[in-house]
């Protein structure tokens, strides 16, 4: 994911994320190690219009998917405001959940949302367990070797600290410190790469603490096991905004990159999904979804397939 789980649409975009102060909890109470399916299989969230089926795009869906009539969509629902568990303890909500419902409606399908640990989603796509990964994945050339991406959003990476803690700005500032990240994310790999760079420069290394979900990574910071948390910029901002003063942001967003909807490599779904996202951009639904979650600064003007350059 980077979790950048992030985006680059040609030129690098400087993203400043404005995050709404939402009342809902920012993570699942049970974490994402247990699979949880949304009870509403094709219900658009409040204020987001239900989409009509587009016959042309629906006809582009591979026959095997059309006959099934649904997409099994995996999300790591500990990553608010992109994907997280509602206050009822079961329903997956967030920007990516709203987008999943809208895309499937356009394609004449139902959306079955499944809460899954992030680093199991791409293997699940490869094995056929899931039809789409909709979990703030950063589109990278390395990931494109095993999945296709429909890029739909841009994000950066960001730091958050316990209120009153040491300030951090940029990867080099991590030298000599302990950082908390979620397993399988771009933040994890970037922190590990920076640890080597620190050592090469004769500085103290970075201690990287990796956790199975974002909730556990947050706890490491609040408990003092880690000095700084590292997540996608809009997620870090949401963690701070919903923490009741426990956390504060540190530094500015950096390493802007594309988010992509992950699909099994070469299975024919990338083209209709790309078309559905672009239809949602054109009819205004896409921006309504981003506005709802306070992350409109990450909007793109056009969805593209496998648009990453690194």
Tens digits of per-residue pLDDT, 114-148? Answer: 999 999 999 999 999 999 999 999 999 999 999 99
What CATH number belongs to 36-156+256-305?
3.40.190.10
| Band (257; pLDDT cuts 50, 70, 90) | confident
**Is the pLDDT assigned to residue 202 strictly greater than 60?**
yes
Is 90 exceeded by the pLDDT of residue 76? yes
Mean pLDDT throughout 232-257? 92
**The pLDDT of residue 286:** 98
C-beta of residue 178 within 8 angstroms of C-beta of residue 226: yes
- Report whether pLDDT(18) > 70: no
Alpha-carbon distance of 27 to 39, in angstroms, equals: 17
pLDDT at 23: 27
Average model confidence (pLDDT) across the chain: 87
* Integer Cα distance of 2 and 221 in angstroms: 19
Quick one: pLDDT at residue 223?
97
User: For the chain, what is the radius of gyration of the CA atoms?
Assistant: 18
For the 157-254 domain, the top CATH level (class) is: alpha beta
Strands 70-75 and 132-138: parallel
297 HSE (CA, 13 A, CB side): 17
Rounded to 10°, the helix 95-106/285-292 angle is: 160
In this chain, the answer to whether the domains covering 36-156+256-305 and 157-254 adopt an identical fold is: yes
Q: Are 60 and 274 in contact (CB under 8 A)?
A: no
Nearest one of 152, 70, 168 to 110, comparing CA atoms: 70
Predicted model pTM: 0.75
Mean pLDDT for 4-33 is 31
Where do runs of H (alpha helix) occur along 186-297?
A: 186-200, 214-222, 233-241, 270-283, 285-292
| pLDDT of 33 over the 60 cut | no
**What pLDDT is recorded for position 115?**
97
Q: How far apart are CA 113 and CA 106, in angstroms?
A: 16
- Percent of the chain at pLDDT above 90? 78
Residue 243, exposed/middle/buried by CB under 10 A (0-12, 13-18, 19+)?
Answer: middle
Domain boundaries, the chain: 36-156+256-305, 157-254
Residue 46: per-residue pLDDT? 54
């Amino acid at each position: 994911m980077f979790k950048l789980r992030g985006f680059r649409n040609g030129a690098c975009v400087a993203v400043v994320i404005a995050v709404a102060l939402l009342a809902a909890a920012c993570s699942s109470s049970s974490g994402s190690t247990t699979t949880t399916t949304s009870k509403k299989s094709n219900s658009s969230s409040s204020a987001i219009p239900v989409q009509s089926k587009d016959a042309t795009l629906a006809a582009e869906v591979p026959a095997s998917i059309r006959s099934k009539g649904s997409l099994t969509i995996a999300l790591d629902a500990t990553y608010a405001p992109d994907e997280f568990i509602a206050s009822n303890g079961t329903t997956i909500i967030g920007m990516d959940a709203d987008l999943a419902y809208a895309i499937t409606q356009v394609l004449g399908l139902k959306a079955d949302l499944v809460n899954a640990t992030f680093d199991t989603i791409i293997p699940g796509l490869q094995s056929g367990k899931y039809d789409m990964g909709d979990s703030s994945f950063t589109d990278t050339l390395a990931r494109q070797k095993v999945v296709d991406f429909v890029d739909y959003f841009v994000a950066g990476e960001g730091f958050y600290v316990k209120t009153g803690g040491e300030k951090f700005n940029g990867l080099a500032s991590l030298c000599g410190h302990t950082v908390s990240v979620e397993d399988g994310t771009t933040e994890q790999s970037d922190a590990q790469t920076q640890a080597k760079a620190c050592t090469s420069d004769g500085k103290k290394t970075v201690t990287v603490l990796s956790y199975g979900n974002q909730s556990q990574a947050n706890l490491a910071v609040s408990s003092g096991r880690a000095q700084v948390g590292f997540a996608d910029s809009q997620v870090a901002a949401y963690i701070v905004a919903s923490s009741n003063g426990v956390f504060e942001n540190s530094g500015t967003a950096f390493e802007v990159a594309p988010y992509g909807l992950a699909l099994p490599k070469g299975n024919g779904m990338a083209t209709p999904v790309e078309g559905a996202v672009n239809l949602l951009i054109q009819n205004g639904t896409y921006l309504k979804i981003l506005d709802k979650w306070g992350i409109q600064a990450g909007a793109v003007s056009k969805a593209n397939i496998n648009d990453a350059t690194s």
